[in-house]
RNA sequence: GGGCGGUUAGCUCAGUUGGUAGAGCACCGGCUUUACACGCCGGCUGCCACAGGUUCGAGUCCUGUACCGCCCACCA
């Protein structure tokens, strides 16, 4: 096709559809109108027939459904949607599923309260169970499968509300591919991946000290920790040196753990304590003989330089305990209460067992906090507390969802090997394309700070069970080494109700029989498989081949250490590959006072309220104004600006389409200049969007559009009504229609509703399936090349017009005031452009006489017509 | 303690290879102009955190400092 032909075709296609512009265009109701149409026409349906190279696949973050969606979700999901819409218009088949994270603790808590039930995994499944209408006083125990059914029932309701919000926001998701982290497919993939890792020795079970939440009574992983500043106090406590006179003093914030003390420790180079290494001391109150040992982790600067090692007060204790081969004296139970101890028995030897028992009996059954208060009194009474406790605030480790500090409890847990893969995982991080790039540092930080393998087991109920049974020995104990595993074809299974091959239900939990693994996997152990879940790994190889590895993982920066890292780990272990090419990291929404917006603070503004007040396009405008990775203030003002932009698009389009004929070849300099400017905007916008730089595209498109409205439109208004004859009117119309078409498509990823509305006035099909604009298409309408002279002419005319408006404004005269004489002083090169724009300029500025004079810089002298003579 | 961002107009932020500081909001003034009063036109506002350095020239590059925010850390 020659350029000439393409020009003609382009012009024909500009008006190939009857133009029908409403009299009073408005934004109200556009969401409902177009959502229904998009759904009916399956505009966002993924085309799974295209090859991988023509697919753009997105690994959507599944929001937690038991919480509520907030503006932060709207913010980051809009970013993703802008990219999705851009890629779709570029001709990609966009694989954009939505998921719900319904698996996990938050859902459990809601279901317990909502239905008045309690999960008892020892119960068999009751298919006929119906929850009471109202929750009763005492929770009804139900089996794990029944409990999970209730979770599914409740989350289904939440998911409907979420979907409604997402649709209203205009997310171009293919809703036929929605998944949930607790659905059968997710469970199957999660269990399948687990079994494969187990088979390769990449996951293992171990009984070891583990971080433990005493309220939830479950193990937690390093990634779920957070530090909180807590008030505490240094207690200076003295230990008698065994077999001779003298005392050693230590500082401790946890004096209640003195009964669990197994050693004291000081730095090997600390001259104060060198002589004591190898000797024993006697613990106060309990009279236990413990050694004084050297270790480099002991800090001479802290406290007295001697630390008390307990089993277990913190993670350093675990390190010391392991490296110094110390015994265990555990006193805190899984519920956080002090266990009963019989002093004098093996492991609890004391120089005065009855005195120890006396002290300890006052502590047994207490929580750590209460025990601390009690033991301080005991220490004070015995004279072993030196001075008063010195109040301090210090950072204490908490489970991020927990209310009490974590304890360390010895238990049997499943781990995924991570420590030995740190180097290759760092390399994966370097191969991943981060947006913005500095986010990679957080990933590396996390890996470099890893303290141990990933604990994936949780002592909870609503989650994916471990697909494992164990043989039960003749004595009734469980043989954890004798695992019974299901065939992959049976997955998903629940070992609390399903039975291993070759056994019957009667053999459950009886000697010689079997026992199911009681634990479930951590949420992240499943959600780290979202790429595998959405692409239907090991279920639909054809689909998998078309979408995996995926193109984009969008998410927020707070879950780099969990979701992102875990997903990279799983893909590395399973496929020896990255799960995606790009990671686009959104920032957070901050309160106007720059603090992180928190749900607990009671942000009463729900996303739906925002969408209704400002329109979806307005809210999307605000969200898309923030660059990737930038924390952004919540700003309704920006939403109003976005809404205004959408209204402006309606009105400007109405004007352009009000008299679209005659249309023809774009010949006038300023028309060609406009298209040239727009062509370079399109070219740069395409490049920016390819690099996830959507905020810049929106900003620049908006600026151009405003220039188009304020200056260009005003300059060509008269001409396009025919003031200068049909050919020049045709040129103006050609440029207006061409520019409008491109601008609408430029805005379409950001403002999907208003652009679709305007598109429907004069074009067939959905704008969201239209081709992304190109510089070539714009330039072919104006000839075949860029026209920098046209750009200069347009800018020159706009500058003169501004000067004339300024004069009218200064004189406080109406803009329709005529200009008797305008003297344009400018460099010769500029003046040479004047003939090209003179007639447009005089029409737009109501200039009666135009004179010129050469000058170094542009300057316009304006003499307004007298009030009487201006009509 | 380690790391990463940030510091530009009253507010929110742009500023792409270094070349005489920008936008929007807010504020002030004006205007019904045949798309838009959910509008239009115009105006005001800055030792670009601070101190050095490189350069003919630094908001931009280098070094250091301060403050803000975040991530991480074995915090007795």
**DSSP-assigned letters across all residues of A617-686:** HHHHHHHHTSPTT--EE--HHHHHHHHHHHHHHHHHHHHHHHS--S-----SHHHHHHHHHHHHHHHHHH
C1' of nucleotide B3: residue with nearest CA: A445
Nucleotide nearest to A306 (CA to C1'): B76
Q: Give the DSSP letter of residue A437.
A: G
A448 CA → B3 C1’, Å: 11
What is the CA A829 to C1' B41 distance in angstroms? 29
Q: Are A804 and A842 in contact (CB under 8 A)?
A: no
3-state secondary structure of A538: coil
In angstroms, the CA of A631 and the C1' of B70 are apart by 10
Closest C1' nucleotide to A811's CA? B30
CA distances from A870 to A839, A860, A864 (A): 19, 20, 9
State, as a whole number of angstroms, the distance between the CA of A691 and the C1' of B55.
32
Residue with tokens 């193109």: A551
Q: Which nucleotides of B are covered by protein (CB under 7 A)?
A: 2-5, 12-15, 23-26, 29-36, 38-43, 68-76
How far in angstroms lies nucleotide B60's C1' from the CA of residue A358?
73
Q: Which nucleotide in the DNA or RNA is closest to residue A843, CA to C1'? A: B33
Written as six digits, the tokens of A812 are 């406080």
- pLDDT score recorded for residue A343: 96
Q: What is the pLDDT of residue A99?
A: 95
Closest nucleotide to the alpha carbon of A315, via C1': B74
Whole-angstrom distance, CA of residue A13 vs CA of residue A777: 12
**Nearest nucleotide by C1' from A251 CA?**
B76
Strand arrangement, sheet containing A433-435: A433-435, A580-586, A550-556
What is each CA distance from A856 to A548, A830, A836, A837, A841, in whole angstroms? 61, 10, 21, 20, 21
Task: Please give the pLDDT value at position A714.
Answer: 94
Measure CA to C1' and name the residue nearest B75.
Answer: A395
Nearest nucleotide (CA of A596 to C1') = B69
The distance (Å) linking the CA of A796 with the C1' of B25 is: 29
pLDDT for residue A815: 87
Q: Give me the pLDDT at residue A781, please.
A: 80
Helices (H) and strands (E) counted in chain A, each on its own, are 26, 30
Helix (H, G, I), strand (E, B) or coil at A579: coil
A442-475 as b/e: b if 16+ CB within 10 A: bbeebbeebeebbbbbbbbbbbbbbbbbbbbeee
What pLDDT score was predicted for residue A855? 87
Mean pLDDT taken over chain A: 91
Please, what sign has the CA dihedral across residues A601, A605, A608, A610?
negative
Return the biggest CA–CA distance within chain A: 117
C1' of B27 to CA of A641 (Å): 17
| Pick from A342, A339, A338, A362: nearest CA to A350 | A342
Cβ(A624)–Cβ(A695) below 8 Å: yes
Nucleotide nearest to A562 in CA–C1' terms = B71
C1'-nearest nucleotide to the CA of A635: B12
Residue nearest B74 (alpha carbon to C1'):
A316
Task: Return the closest nucleotide (C1') to the Cα of A646.
Answer: B38
A439: nt with nearest C1' to CA: B4
Q: How many Å apart are A441 CA and B52 C1'?
A: 29
| Residue at token pair 């950001």 | A750
Distance CA A592 to C1' B11 in A:
10
DSSP 8-state secondary structure symbol assigned to residue A461: S
Write down the pLDDT at residue A605.
73
Which parts of chain A have pLDDT scores under 50? Answer: 1-12, 599-602, 870-871
The two structure tokens encoding residue A201: 């020795």
State the nearest residue by CA to the C1' of B6.
A630
Question: Distance in angstroms, CA of A228 to C1' of B47?
Answer: 42
Sheet with A203-213, edge to edge strand ranges: A218-219, A203-213, A407-416, A454-455
- The Å distance, CA of A669 to C1' of B73, is 64
CA A585 / C1′ B5 distance in Å:
13
Residue with tokens 């714009």: A778
Which nucleotide is at minimal CA–C1' distance from A300? B76
What Å value separates CA A811 and C1' B44? 17
Q: Gap from A794 CA to B75 C1', in Å?
A: 65
Closest C1' nucleotide to A695's CA: B14
**Contacts (Cβ under 8 Å, ≥6 apart) of A766:** A37, A38, A41, A43, A756, A759
Which structure tokens are listed for A590? 């901050």
3-state secondary structure A778-823: HHHHCCCCCCHHHHHHHHHHHHHHHHHHHHHHHCCCCCCCCEEEEE
> How many other C-beta atoms lie within 10 A of the C-beta of residue A441?
12
Task: Show the DSSP H helices in A94-141 as ranges.
Answer: 105-115
d(CA A405, CA A228): 9
pLDDT in tens, A661-698: 888 889 999 999 999 999 999 999 999 999 999 999 99
Q: Which residue is nearest to nucleotide B30 (CA to C1')?
A: A812
**A450/B4 CA-to-C1' distance in Å:** 18
> For B32, which residue's CA is nearest its C1'?
A814
């Amino acid at each position: 096709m020659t350029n000439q032909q393409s020009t003609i075709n382009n012009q024909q296609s500009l008006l190939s559809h009857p133009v029908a512009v409403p009299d009073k265009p408005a934004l109200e109701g556009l969401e409902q109108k177009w959502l229904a149409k998009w759904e009916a026409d399956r505009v966002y349906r993924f085309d799974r027939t295209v090859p991988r190279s023509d697919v753009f696949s997105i690994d959507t973050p599944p929001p937690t459904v038991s919480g509520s969606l907030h503006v932060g979700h709207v913010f980051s999901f809009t970013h993703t949607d802008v990219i999705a819409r851009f890629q779709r218009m570029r001709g990609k088949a966009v694989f954009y599923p939505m998921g719900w994270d319904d698996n996990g603790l938050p859902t459990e808590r809601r279901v317990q309260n909502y239905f008045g039930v309690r999960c008892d995994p020892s119960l068999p499944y009751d298919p006929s169970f119906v929850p009471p209408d109202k929750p009763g006083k005492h929770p009804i125990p139900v089996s794990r499968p029944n409990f999970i059914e209730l979770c599914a029932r409740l989350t289904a309701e939440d998911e409907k509300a979420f979907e409604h919000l997402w649709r209203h926001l205009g997310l171009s998701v293919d809703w036929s591919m929605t998944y949930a982290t607790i659905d059968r497919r997710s469970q199957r993939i999660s269990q399948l991946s687990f079994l494969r890792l187990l088979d390769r020795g990449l996951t293992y079970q171990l009984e070891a000290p583990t971080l433990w939440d005493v309220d939830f009574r479950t193990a937690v992983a390093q990634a779920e920790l957070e530090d909180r500043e807590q008030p505490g106090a240094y207690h200076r406590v003295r230990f008698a040196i065994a077999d001779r006179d003298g005392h050693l003093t230590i500082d401790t914030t946890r004096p209640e753990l003195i009964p669990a003390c197994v050693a004291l420790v000081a730095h090997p180079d600390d001259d104060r304590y060198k002589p004591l290494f190898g000797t024993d001391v006697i613990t106060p109150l309990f009279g236990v003989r413990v050694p004084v040992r050297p270790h480099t982790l002991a800090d001479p600067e802290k406290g007295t330089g001697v630390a008390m090692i307990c089993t277990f007060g913190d993670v350093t204790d675990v390190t010391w305990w392991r490296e110094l081969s110390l015994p265990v004296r555990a006193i805190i139970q899984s519920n956080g209460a002090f266990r009963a101890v019989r002093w004098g028995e093996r492991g609890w030897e004391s120089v005065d067992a009855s005195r120890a028992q006396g002290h300890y009996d006052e502590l047994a059954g207490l929580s750590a906090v209460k025990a601390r208060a009690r033991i301080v009194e005991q220490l004070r009474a015995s004279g072993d507390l030196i001075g008063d406790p010195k109040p301090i605030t210090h950072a204490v480790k908490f489970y991020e969802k927990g209310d009490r500090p974590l304890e360390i409890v010895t238990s049997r847990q499943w781990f995924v090997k991570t420590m030995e893969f740190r180097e290759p995982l760092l390399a994966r991080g370097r191969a991943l394309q981060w947006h913005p790039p500095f986010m990679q540092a957080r990933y590396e930080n996390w890996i470099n700070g890893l303290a141990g393998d990933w604990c994936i087991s949780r002592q909870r109920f609503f989650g994916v069970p471990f697909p494992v049974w164990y043989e039960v020995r003749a004595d009734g104990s469980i043989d954890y080494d004798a695992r019974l595993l299901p065939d992959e074809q049976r997955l998903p299974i629940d070992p609390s109700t399903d039975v291993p091959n070759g056994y019957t239900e009667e053999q459950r939990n009886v000697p010689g029989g079997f026992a199911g693994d009681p634990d479930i996997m951590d949420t992240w152990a499943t959600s780290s498989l979202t790429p595998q879940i959405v692409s239907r790994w090991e279920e639909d190889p054809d689909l998998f081949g078309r979408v995996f590895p995926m193109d984009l993982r969008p998410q927020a920066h707070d879950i780099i250490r969990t979701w992102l890292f875990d997903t990279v780990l799983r893909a590395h272990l399973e496929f020896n590959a990255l799960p995606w090419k790009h990671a686009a990291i959104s920032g957070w929404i901050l309160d106007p006072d720059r603090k992180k917006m928190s749900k607990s603070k009671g942000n009463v503004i729900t996303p739906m309220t925002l969408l209704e007040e400002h329109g979806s396009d307005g809210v999307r405008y605000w969200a898309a104004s923030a660059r990737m990775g930038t924390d952004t203030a919540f700003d309704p003002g920006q939403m109003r600006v976005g809404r205004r932009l959408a209204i402006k698009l309606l009105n400007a389009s109405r004007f352009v389409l009000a008299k679209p004929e005659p249309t023809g070849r774009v010949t006038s300099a300023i028309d060609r200049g406009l298209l040239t400017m727009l062509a370079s905007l399109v070219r740069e916008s395409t490049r920016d969007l390819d690099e996830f730089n959507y905020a810049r595209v929106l900003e620049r498109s908006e600026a151009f559009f405003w220039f188009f409205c304020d200056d260009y439109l005003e300059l060509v208004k008269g001409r396009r009504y025919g003031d200068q004859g049909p050919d020049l009117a045709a040129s103006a119309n050609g440029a207006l229609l061409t520019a409008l078409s491109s601008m609408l498509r430029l805005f379409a990823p950001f403002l999907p509703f208003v652009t679709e509305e305007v598109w429907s006035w004069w074009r067939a099909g959905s704008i969201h399936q239209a081709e992304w604009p190109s510089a070539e298409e714009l330039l072919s309408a104006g000839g075949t090349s860029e026209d920098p002279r046209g750009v200069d002419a347009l800018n020159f005319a706009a500058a003169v017009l501004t000067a004339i408006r300024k004069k009218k404004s200064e004189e406080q005269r109406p803009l329709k005031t005529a200009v008797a004489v305008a003297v344009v002083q400018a460099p010769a090169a500029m003046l040479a452009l004047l003939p090209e724009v003179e007639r447009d300029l005089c029409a737009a500025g109501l200039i009666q006489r135009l004179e010129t004079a050469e000058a170094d810089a542009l300057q316009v002298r304006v003499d307004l017509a007298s009030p009487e003579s201006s009509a």
